[in-house]
Amino acid sequence: MYPPCTTSPVLVARARADQVATLYAHVHLTSLSMGLGALILCAAMWGQVSPGAMIAWCGLIAANQAWRTALARAFARERPGAEAAPRWGRYWAAGSTLAGALWGLAGVVMFPPPPALQALLIVCLFGVALGGLYLTAVYKPSFYGFVLPALLPLIVRVALVGDPVHLFLAGVMAVVSGFLLGFGHRLNDVLTRSLIIRYENIDLIGELKERTRSAVEARSAAEAANRAKSQLLAAASHDLRQPLHALGLYVAALSARARSAEWRPLIVNVETAANVLERQFAQLIDLSRLDAGVLTPDRGSVALLGLFERIASEFAPQAAARGLAFRIVPTSLCVDSDAGLLERIVGNLAANAIRYTAEGGVVVGARRNGDRVAIEVIDTGIGIAADHRDRIFEEFYQIGDPSAAPSAARGMGLGLAIVRRFADLLDHAIELASVPGRGSRFRVLVPRARGLRPRLPSRPLPSSRAASPPAPLPRSELVDHVVAVVDDDPATVDAMTTLFETWGATVVGAQTLDALMTGIGDIARYPDLVVADLRLADGDSGIRAVKRLRDELGYAVPAIIVSGDTGTRADREARAAGLLLLGKPVVASTLQAAAVATIRRYAPEAAARI
């Protein structure tokens, strides 16, 4: 949650007025969304509901949108001020509530007997609700007025079928709806705070001009505004990563537990949507931090071997899922850079290569280039034509080849823009060589670091095979192991517990270390692994919690740290403590692989303790 603050009611009223104006400005998008959604739903349910009922329902949708369009024209003519904004907001919220009720009615009246069509109806209504998040989250009454009437009747209708599968599905839909509402609520808070800060800064500039303050006072005010923006970005990043992190874990647990083949397409769609939301959110936060100028590189010697291994652990499973090979080339080279930012650069390049490669694979490696090191990401994808090569590093620019990846997987066109801006921040050059239809090679030129070379591992580095994607880690890897989870967010604790129990582990979860110790005592078994959030309640730290737990138990219990922090400080703290750090939102396959690897690493010590 955001820290409490005292804000002028006048600024709040101005922010609300801007939000209401945004609703009316997007009336054409609302009408297009409602119209397309109605046509798709009627086409899908044709033959299941009488044509007369469908025509009547579409007529009500059209009448409601016509009324809202007329209302938008009246709003444009009147141009109401901040004092009249609440009244116009109520008008719009009434239209949103009526639209949501009509969609909720469709979920009940058009509910078909065949399971496949039921799944299609559920996907359609949740798709409309997600569209409502984009169009109405700017104003809470309109958002709640649309989403709740649209989804609650459908959830009740699914539950009324009565069999275990539909009851389980209704429960999952309720959980996803809860996360959707929570995300919309927090997004509205972020937007409102941003508008308030904007008006505070505008007022501050006006006062500075009127009172002709000195240069020292102006500089102090600007620094205060920058600190407020940095605090806002940090709060938004942490608070919004938490529900996304828990949502991803819940979806992974659902995917592992679901047995019925008829629900797999629906689960895959939900999982894909959650992954896309996580990736796009991370890119938006990166872009916001770059725009705010709050990133300060922490340069030092970076061993590329460890960086490549972390890249492989994250992206090899994604490549294998698409039938692609993903290989890293072992290296002893070290470079002078910021470890966290350089990993984001190479990771974005790897993600982009996988996204636009249909056959073959991706290779990540490095070679000497004079006094510099060329880090290379090579793919066998669609390639980039010469007229696109300068523009691909622009924000929101995409080549737009629909054959390369589904539209949902292509992202927003921010990955390479962030690569360029991170590289400029670090003064690293980016080079591109590409042949359309054959693939691309991106090179990041980084100064070579002087010093000791890291020792190469004795075993092969992780890679994926295109012909035979690796199967998930066997369930027996975590069966009968005890996993202790400590996180101050109860949803994250519950999601972690659900997921690890799905993998066969016994889980002790708590929000504080004292409660965790009590839970460990209750089961009378030492944990085989601890998963701790970096930032705990009351200023505590997951790293300190792991240290205290080790002192209490008398042995170095294996541990993993997870964090929603987006800076390099978290990575430095974890590395200094000798602990593995996973960034939120954590991909379930990455968490599973990290858990097994960490337990294996400490296996000799655990055997000695026994």
Handedness of CA 577, 230, 591, 549 (dihedral sign): positive
* Residue type, position 281, single letter: F
Query: In this predicted structure, what is the pLDDT of residue 11?
Result: 74
User: What does the pLDDT look like over 249-296, one tens digit per residue?
Assistant: 777 777 777 666 667 677 666 766 666 666 666 666 666 666 656 567
- CB contact at 8 A, 334 and 423: no
Measured from the Cβ of residue 371, the count of other Cβ atoms closer than 10 Å reads 8
Q: Tell me the mean pLDDT in the region 5-25.
A: 74
Angle between helical axes of 140-160 and 115-136 (0-180°, round to 10): 170
To 10 degrees, the CA torsion angle through 347, 349, 351, 355? Answer: 180
Q: Tell me the mean pLDDT in the region 579-587.
A: 79
Query: In this predicted structure, what is the pLDDT of residue 386?
Result: 75
User: Binning pLDDT at 50, 70 and 90, where does residue 224 land?
Assistant: low
pLDDT at residue 529 is higher than 60:
yes
Least confident of 126-140, 293-307, 320-334, 582-596: 126-140
Query: In this predicted structure, what is the pLDDT of residue 536?
Result: 85
3-state secondary structure of 509: strand
**Position with higher pLDDT, 171 vs 216:** 171
* DSSP secondary structure letters along 170-188: HHHHHHHHHHHHHHHHHHH
Across the beta sheet with 325-328, what order do the strands follow?
325-328, 361-369, 372-379, 439-447, 429-435
Q: Which residues of 491-506 are buried (b: 16+ CB within 10 A; e: fewer)?
A: bbbbbbbbbbebbebb
State how far the Cα of 317 lies from the Cα of 572, in Å rounded to an integer: 26
State how far the Cα of 555 lies from the Cα of 604, in Å rounded to an integer: 12
- CB contact at 8 A, 417 and 291: no
Query: In this predicted structure, what is the pLDDT of residue 446?
Result: 94
- CB contact at 8 A, 560 and 595: yes
> What is the topology classification, in CATH, of domain 300-447?
Heat Shock Protein 90 (3.30.565)
User: To the nearest whole number, what is the mean pLDDT of the chain?
Assistant: 77
User: What does the pLDDT look like over 396-436, one tens digit per residue?
Assistant: 556 654 444 444 445 555 678 888 888 888 899 989 888 88
State how far the Cα of 262 lies from the Cα of 157, in Å rounded to an integer: 19
H/E stretch holding 532: strand 529-533
pLDDT at residue 601 is higher than 70:
yes
3-state secondary structure of 278: helix
Measured from the Cβ of residue 105, the count of other Cβ atoms closer than 10 Å reads 16
Structure letter (DSSP) for residue 400: -
User: Binning pLDDT at 50, 70 and 90, where does residue 457 land?
Assistant: very low
Structure letter (DSSP) for residue 111: -
Query: In this predicted structure, what is the pLDDT of residue 329?
Result: 93
Query: In this predicted structure, what is the pLDDT of residue 377?
Result: 94
User: What does the pLDDT look like over 337-392, one tens digit per residue?
Assistant: 988 889 889 988 998 888 888 899 999 999 999 899 999 999 998 888 777 767 67
Tell me the C-alpha to C-alpha distance, in Å, between residue 142 and each of 90, 91, 121, 151, 580: 8, 9, 23, 15, 43
User: Binning pLDDT at 50, 70 and 90, where does residue 212 land?
Assistant: low
State how far the Cα of 242 lies from the Cα of 239, in Å rounded to an integer: 6
Record the tokens describing residue 341, joined without a space: 């930012």
H/E stretch holding 440: strand 439-447
Domain 475-609 -> CATH class = alpha beta
Cα-atom radius of gyration of the chain, to the nearest Å?
A: 26
Query: In this predicted structure, what is the pLDDT of residue 228?
Result: 63
State how far the Cα of 468 lies from the Cα of 332, in Å rounded to an integer: 29
| HEC sequence for 295-313 | CCCCCEEEEHHHHHHHHHH
Domain boundaries, the chain: 9-212, 300-447, 475-609
State how far the Cα of 408 lies from the Cα of 423, in Å rounded to an integer: 27
pLDDT at residue 195 is higher than 90:
no
State how far the Cα of 443 lies from the Cα of 430, in Å rounded to an integer: 6
* DSSP secondary structure letters along 206-230: HHHHHHT--HHHHHHHHHHHHHHHH
Structure letter (DSSP) for residue 346: H
Q: Tell me the mean pLDDT in the region 490-513.
A: 88
State how far the Cα of 259 lies from the Cα of 168, in Å rounded to an integer: 12
Query: In this predicted structure, what is the pLDDT of residue 128?
Result: 79
Q: Tell me the mean pLDDT in the region 527-540.
A: 87
**Position with higher pLDDT, 222 vs 247:** 247
Least confident of 80-84, 105-109, 157-161, 323-327: 80-84
Burial of 214 (0-12, 13-18, 19+ CB in 10 A): exposed
State how far the Cα of 370 lies from the Cα of 103, in Å rounded to an integer: 64
Q: Which residues of 253-268 are buried (b: 16+ CB within 10 A; e: fewer)?
A: bbebebeeeebeebbe
pLDDT at residue 460 is higher than 50:
no
pLDDT at residue 570 is higher than 60:
yes
Q: Return the closest-CA partner of residue 151 out of 92, 89, 99.
A: 99
* Residue type, position 51, single letter: P
pTM: 0.44
Whose structure tokens read 């901040």? 82
Q: Return the closest-CA partner of residue 412 out of 234, 281, 311, 587.
A: 281
Among 116-125, 135-144, 184-193, 392-401, top mean pLDDT goes to 116-125
Least confident of 24-33, 209-218, 482-491: 209-218
pLDDT at residue 303 is higher than 70:
yes
